[in-house]
């Protein structure tokens, strides 16, 4: 086993073991803060490309985006070169990171074509070089997020997990699909169980977990130690708290959330929108916010014509439209 693993800070499973997955362009700092207000065991930053981090000089907003200093935040790094990954790990550690997560699960072509993300599952020897480099570079807990394998003919997540544990990785998140599935079909939670049975460190189930029932099913079928929710939180930043309370009840450090509706939902969405404008500036914040506004209106079942009006409006007008799109519509329903 890597000797650096013995000097790394031990990583405890969060209470509750319900975590927010990193989603590029979605789980930015304003959204992670909102999810954390309702309650989450841990949140993970959007994937940071190690080479890009090192080749640029992050400004104030880019540094803030990592949320490195926030206690329940892990900073996720991706890359293909051990030296870049090690130096990027040291840099985010200097920024105050508490946990570093290695991305070996992103299926996007622009990532895998650069021999990063889930492409690393096709070469476990190289994947382990990256893991060794990060674990040796920092005195922080290192975790790993990956998939079942590259495709149905290469389901090597258990082998990767064993080798990662030996290298000093302290937790593994498994998305229950292969890379070649992308997000099609259903997540295979039972296959995650093969990873759980192969290692002694915590294994977290990810994929198609949208509420307490699907979380319970994922835990039952996989034997995992916790769950990670990604797309299920879109437009529902309170869902992690709902799942935590539904699964763990009084054993969770999070109480049952008050799911907002009517005026409360309008206040929440308005606050999130204003936070995004403040963080990104206008008009970038308005463009980035559109996907979130769309998900909120999906939840509120806003009529299509009104939905289009909100999504095409100038940011200065959006706030005046939200009461009609969210509050008045829900109250009328």
Per-residue pLDDT of 207-256, as tens digits, reads 999 999 999 999 999 999 999 999 999 999 999 999 999 999 888 888 88
- Annotated active-site residue in 106, 180, 266, 282: 106
For 63, phi then psi, to 5°, come to: -65, -40
Pairing of strands 171-175, 48-49: unpaired
Once rounded to an integer, what is the mean pLDDT over residues 139-160? 95
230 in a labelled binding site:
yes
Tokens of 177: 């699909």
Q: Other C-beta atoms within 10 Å of 231: how many?
A: 15
231 in a labelled binding site:
yes
Band of residue 113 on the pLDDT scale cut at 50, 70, 90 = confident
Question: In the predicted model, is pLDDT for residue 67 greater than 90?
Answer: no
Once rounded to an integer, what is the mean pLDDT over residues 28-47? 94
Question: In the predicted model, is pLDDT for residue 68 greater than 80?
Answer: no
Residue-level pLDDT at 146? 97
Bridge partners of 103, per DSSP, are 145
Place of tokens 């290298």: 167
Rounded-to-integer distance, Cα 170 and Cα 167, Å: 9
**DSSP collapsed to 3 states, the chain:** CCHHHHCCCCCCCCCCCEEECCCCCCCCHHHHHHHHHHCCCEEECCCEEHHHHHHCCCCHHHHHHHCCCCCCEEEEEECCCHHHHHHHHHHHHHCCCCEEEEEECCCCHHHHCCCCHHHHHHCHHHHHHHHHHHHHHCCCCEEEEEECCCCCCCCCHHHHHHHHHHHCCCEEEEECCCHHHCCCCCCCHHHHHHHHCCCCCCEEEECCCCCHHHHHHHHHHHCCCEEEECHHHCCCCCHHHHHHHHHHHHHCCCCCCCCCCHHHHHHHHHHHHHHHHHHHCCCHHHHHHHHHHHHHHHHHCCCHHHHHHHHHCCHHHHHHHHHHHHHHHHHHC
Report the range of poorest mean pLDDT among 70-84, 123-137, 187-201: 70-84
Q: Are 257 and 38 a contacting pair, CB within 8 Å?
A: yes
Q: Output the average pLDDT for the chain.
A: 91
Question: In the predicted model, is pLDDT for residue 65 greater than 80?
Answer: no
Q: What are the tens digits of pLDDT across the range 288-327?
A: 999 999 999 999 999 999 999 999 999 999 999 999 999 7
Once rounded to an integer, what is the mean pLDDT over residues 135-145? 97
Band of residue 175 on the pLDDT scale cut at 50, 70, 90 = very high
Domain that holds residue 40: 3-251
Residue-level pLDDT at 51? 83
Once rounded to an integer, what is the mean pLDDT over residues 267-277? 97
Residue 257 lies in a domain: no
Report the range of poorest mean pLDDT among 31-45, 83-97, 101-115: 101-115
CATH number at residue 107: 3.20.20.70
Question: In the predicted model, is pLDDT for residue 63 greater than 80?
Answer: no
Question: In the predicted model, is pLDDT for residue 160 greater than 90?
Answer: yes
150 and 271 in a common domain: no
279 and 178 in a common domain: no
41 and 94 in a common domain: yes
70 and 154 in a common domain: yes
Residue 256 lies in a domain: no
Rounded-to-integer distance, Cα 210 and Cα 208, Å: 6
Question: In the predicted model, is pLDDT for residue 60 greater than 90?
Answer: no
Residue-level pLDDT at 3? 45
Pairing of strands 99-104, 73-78: parallel
Straight-line distance from the first to the last Cα atom of the chain, in angstroms, rounded to the nearest whole number: 60
249 in a labelled binding site:
no
Rounded-to-integer distance, Cα 43 and Cα 67, Å: 10
172 and 273 in a common domain: no
117 and 45 in a common domain: yes
Count of structural domains within the chain = 2
Residue 199 lies in a domain: yes
157 and 301 in a common domain: no
Tokens of 116: 């990063």
Question: In the predicted model, is pLDDT for residue 26 greater than 90?
Answer: yes
Residue-level pLDDT at 329? 57
User: Around 208, how many Cα atoms within 13 Å sit in the side-chain half-sphere?
Assistant: 16
9 and 103 in a common domain: yes
For 295, phi then psi, to 5°, come to: -70, -40
Residue-level pLDDT at 103? 95
76 in a labelled binding site:
yes
Once rounded to an integer, what is the mean pLDDT over residues 39-43? 94
176 and 100 in a common domain: yes
155 and 229 in a common domain: yes
- Give catalytic status of residue 106 as yes or no: yes
Residue-level pLDDT at 109? 84
303 and 214 in a common domain: no
Tell me what percent of the residues of the chain surpass a pLDDT of 90.
Answer: 77
């Amino acid at each position: 086993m890597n000797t650096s693993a013995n000097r790394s800070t031990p990583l405890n499973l969060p209470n509750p073991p319900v975590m927010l997955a990193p989603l590029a362009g979605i789980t930015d700092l304003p959204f992670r803060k909102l999810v954390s207000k309702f309650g989450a065991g841990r949140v993970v930053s959007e994937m940071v490309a190690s080479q890009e981090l090192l080749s640029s000089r992050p400004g104030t907003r880019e540094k803030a985006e990592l949320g490195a200093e926030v206690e329940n935040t892990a900073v996720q790094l991706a890359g293909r070169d051990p030296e870049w990954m090690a130096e990027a790990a040291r840099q985010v550690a200097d920024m105050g990171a508490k946990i570093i997560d290695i991305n070996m699960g992103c299926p996007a072509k622009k990532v895998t074509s650069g021999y990063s993300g889930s492409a690393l599952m096709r070469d476990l020897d190289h994947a382990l070089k990256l893991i060794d480099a990060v674990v040796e570079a920092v005195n922080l807990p290192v975790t790993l997020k990956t998939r079942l394998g590259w495709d149905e003919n290469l389901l090597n997540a258990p082998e990767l997990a064993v080798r990662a544990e030996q290298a000093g990785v302290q937790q593994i998140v498994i998305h229950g699909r292969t890379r070649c599935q992308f997000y099609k079909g259903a997540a295979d939670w039972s296959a995650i169980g093969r990873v759980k049975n192969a290692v002694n460190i915590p294994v977290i189930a990810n994929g198609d977990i949208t509420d307490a029932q699907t979380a319970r099913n994922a835990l039952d079928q996989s034997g995992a130690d916790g769950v990670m929710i990604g797309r299920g939180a879109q437009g529902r930043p309170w869902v992690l708290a709902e799942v935590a309370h539904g699964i763990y009840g009084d054993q969770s450090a999070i109480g049952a959330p008050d799911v907002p509706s009517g005026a409360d939902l309008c206040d929440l969405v308005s606050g999130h929108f204003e936070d995004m404008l403040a963080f990104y500036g206008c008009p970038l914040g308005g463009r980035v916010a559109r996907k979130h506004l769309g998900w909120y209106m999906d939840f509120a079942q806003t009529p299509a014509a009104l939905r289009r009006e909100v999504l095409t409006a100038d940011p200065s007008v959006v706030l005046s439209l939200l009461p009609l799109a969210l509050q008045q519509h829900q109250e009328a329903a």
